[in-house]
Structure formats: structure tokens, C-alpha cells
Amino acid sequence: MNHRFLTISVSLILTHQHSQFGASAFTNTATGRLLLRRATAVRAVHVTSLPEFNSKKDYEDFVKAPQVSTLPKGFSCGSAVGTFVSVEAPAMGNLPIKATVISLDQPTDSWAACFTKNKFPGAPVIIGRSRLNADGPLQALVINNKVSNVCAGGDGVADSEQICAAVASALKLPMGPTSVLPSSTGVIGWRLPAKELSVDIVPKAIEAMQTLSAFPAAQAIMTTDRWPKIRSCVLPNSGARIVGIAKGAGMIEPNMATMLSYIFTDAIIPKDYLRKCLSEIVDESYNSISVDGDESTSDTVVCLASNKVALSSQEEWKDALTQICKGLAADIVRNGEGTGHVMRVTVSNYPGPNKDARRLGRRIVNSPLFKCAVKGNDPNTGRLAAAIGSFIGRESNGDDISLSDMALTLGGRTIFSKGKFILEGDAVEKELSNHMKDAEFNEHEEFPRHQRFVDIGVDFGVAPGNTNKGSAVVFGSDLTNEYIAVNADYRS
């Protein structure tokens, strides 16, 4: 456990309220008592977890609190909602669409981005890659939900550029439209309502710009998400702040990054270091999750630095960014469409590189049979072994991979060792089932009640030939009727 980040997490919750009210006044308020309980809870859980919540209001009060949602220095954001009629489905009538604008007070060269590898990328991804290759500064992001602007009729790139131009004009950006990065999420194949966005909704979003909180942006970028996702911290030595938001609930299987995520910091970070960090961290976080095995056409993660606060340690900043990205990645899975359990698969001593260990982890969490077993709190561990065996058998070097020392655990209990299951007795069956039940939550609730996992361990041991020692931690969801219901009626 990273105790340094635990310190960051606890100070995030406490320092703001102490500075405003003093310790005694803070602890005598309902909010103060709530946050103090939460701060204590943080010490007892993994750093990528949030504390437990009892209601949607409970959760939203927590993430709206200034110590969680305050934007870093130099950033502002605004959101607005409007309507449009889809050219492709006019019978659906007026449909809601939101736009969010996030801007810096001056252009920055310190930005990094990673995009989907899907061969049908959305027009905003095409533009984003172009901006990245051009290596110019950025000063704003513009994000819309409802329509992803992917493979639509007309000119999707021109439509996105029209919106970038509207942002640049309204904000009077000195570098013009090329300093605006667009993102879109929603229905694939529909044309972006560029006129409605650029003439009506984007100007309203800019009128609503404020420098206080990232919460409105986190809420506005949602589609089928059940709750907004925010992670943040203040580095104790420099005071630099990092705030991350994300959306994503379905079509989550990474090959970067299977959702939209935006991370803001006021730290002074060199561009090359920032890009190197983000590329590495993406593999450990957003590339290590899966809800349904489908890679989106619009995946984007962007990190922007306003370069206001000098760091005492770049490594400390990178550690904090890593924890925020891992936390957001886990939040996306827990918020997955219809998710009622989150699986956490830890692969150790894999006889290959880390990327192959991640592939194995994703094979496990994507197994329909095993996902259904988890949904039913059924410790049908044969399905776990079958998923592993299927993966290894299809690898080009599968015949050379020894499973003689492989051990499997579920909820910390060893269930397989030396080629045999260890499952004798009703007591073991009940223990494993109870572990799954303990991790269960209501797939209809609009807040994350808890942060527990169905914990699965796959350790290949030290058999001859297992020399590469690949490792990975992968998060995935179960499969419920609610997932089918959401995706059967997605467009409406």
C-alpha cells in the first residue's frame, strides 16, 4: 500500500475544512463528522477506493465538497444543455444534448493525450491525433454527449472543427481553433448537430464558466453513467493540485482508453515528461479494465497542466497521477452499465510481459460464463480455470507455458494448486459464495454504495521457464439483465 498517497488522500479530505472553520468547529458539523469518518475509512482501504455511501446525496455531497472538486489554478469550466433532432432518426423528436467547455487562462504546451486504437475512430479522435502531431499549444477542451460523431454522413471533421471555432471565438483564444481539442460520446453513426452546438449550446456553456468546481463538468459528460466520477489530490510538499474526471459505463474494453477522461493540474510539468508519464500510466489504469469487451470508437484521455506551481518532486506528482487514474479506471467499472459486482484479478509471475498478463486478466473478466457465475454469487471455479486454459491454449507459445505451479485464489482462499482444485466441503462453498455476496451492490443505484471487489488471484509460481514474471491488476464487471436492458434501449 502506498502510504505516501494515503497521506495525500487524508489531507485532501481534512485540510480545507480545518483552514476554514478550525478543528473544533469542523468536527461539530454534520459535514465535518461525515468527512472525518470518511478520512478514517480511507486508511483502511486500498488507495484507489472511495469510502462507503448510503445515498446518492451522500455521495454527491462528498464529491462536490471543495476539497474534492476544486479546479486547479488556471482552469475554468462550464456546461449547458440544449436539444436537437437527429437527421438519422427524426421520429425520435427533440433530444437532449450537453456541451462542456474547459479552458485555461493561457495556452499551454504541457499537455498529453492518448486515443482509441479502434479502426473506426470518431472525427474528434482524428482531430485530436492531428493536434498532437502538430505539437502546438492547447487552451480549451469542448465535449459533447449524446452523439459520438463517428462514421456519420456529411463531414464529421468539419462539424467538430466548427464547434472548436465557436469556442475559440467566444473565448477569444489567441491561438485560434487549433488550440481547442474536441471530444464526443454517444450514438455511433449519427451526425453531430454542429449548428445547435456552436450557435446555441456552446455559447451558453461559456456563459456558465466558473473556476470553482469540476463537478458540473463531471456530471455533464455522462451518458449512461449512473454517477459522476471525480478523483483529486493536493501534493503535500508543493501544494500542486491534480483533478481528474471521467465518463464511461459501457463499450469498455481498453486499447486506450475506452472512455473519456480529463485530468487537470496546476503543476509546472515539462511536456515531454508529462507525455511519457501519461503513456505509462494508461497501461496500468485505463488499459486494465473491461466491462463488456467492446472497444469504443471515441476513447480519449487528456492531461493538461497550467504550469502555476513548482514541484518539489516530479516522481511524487507522477505517483499521485497514477493513483488518480487507477481510481478513475476502477470507478468506471463500478459504474458500468448494469454492473452488480466488480472483479479484481491479480495476475502474478506470468511467463511473459506485463501486457500479456493484462490480456489474461481481461480474458477472465470478459468470460460470459464466469461473469454470469459472479452475478449469481456462484463459486463455479471451473469456469475460471477454463478461461485461463483457453487463453493459454491460444497463445503462440502456449505449449511452452507451464501451469504446474499455478495457484488460484478467490477471496484470498486458495482454490486451485498443483493442477487440482481444493474445494472440499460445504463450508468452503459457503465461504466463497459469501465473498461474492459481500462484493455485490444494486445495479440500479445512482451512487457507489461501497468499494468492495470479488478478488481473484492467478499466480504462475516459479516453474521452470517462467522467467519473465509479468504482472497485472485488471478490473471487470459481472453480467446482469440490467446491462441488456440499458443497451437494448440505448438511443432513446
Query: Do 405 and 416 meet the contact criterion of CB atoms below 8 Å apart?
Result: no
Quote the distance between the C-alpha of residue 75 and its chain's center: 21
Pairs from 410-415 (Cβ < 8 Å, separation ≥ 24): 410/379, 410/381, 410/384, 410/435, 410/454, 410/455, 410/456, 410/457, 411/435, 411/436, 411/454, 411/455, 412/455, 412/457, 415/379, 415/381
Phi/psi at 259 (nearest 5 deg)?
175, -175
Q: At what angle are helices 381-394 and 368-375 packed, to 10 degrees?
A: 160
477-487: per-residue pLDDT in tens? 999 888 878 76
pLDDT at site 286: 86
Read off the C-alpha cell for 245: 474526471
Contact 482, 341 (CB under 8 A): no
Query: What confidence tier does 465 reach under pLDDT thresholds 50, 70, 90?
Result: low
Cβ neighbours of residue 26 under 8 Å, at least 6 residues apart? 14, 17, 18, 20, 32, 36
Over residues 295-333, the pLDDT tens digits come to: 556 688 999 999 999 999 999 999 999 999 999 988 998
Strand partners, 231: 244
pLDDT band at residue 408 under the 50/70/90 scheme: very high
298 vs 90, which has greater pLDDT? 90
Average pLDDT, the chain: 85
pLDDT of residue 72: 98
Report the percent of the chain where pLDDT is more than 90. 66
pLDDT digits (tens, 9 = 90+) for 195-214: 999 999 999 999 999 999 99
Q: Does 115 score more than 70 pLDDT?
A: yes
User: How sure is the predictor about 81, in pLDDT bands with cuts at 50, 70 and 90?
Assistant: very high
* Entry pTM: 0.83
Distances (CA, A) of 324 to 26, 238, 292, 425: 26, 17, 23, 42
pLDDT of residue 45 exceeding 50, the answer is no
Handedness of CA 398, 399, 402, 406 (dihedral sign): positive
pLDDT digits (tens, 9 = 90+) for 146-197: 999 998 888 999 999 999 999 999 999 999 999 999 999 888 899 999 999 9
Q: Write b or e for each residue in 336-348: b if 16 or more Cβ atoms lie within 10 A of its Cβ, otherwise e.
A: bbbbbbbbbbbbb
Q: What is the pLDDT of residue 441?
A: 92
- Catalytic, 185? Answer no
**For 403-421, b where at least 16 C-beta lie within 10 A, e where not — what string?**
bebbbbbbbebebbeeeee
pLDDT for 248 beyond 80: no
pLDDT tier at 32 (50, 70, 90 boundaries)? very low
Catalytic option among 48, 70, 258, 265: 258
Per-residue pLDDT at 47: 31
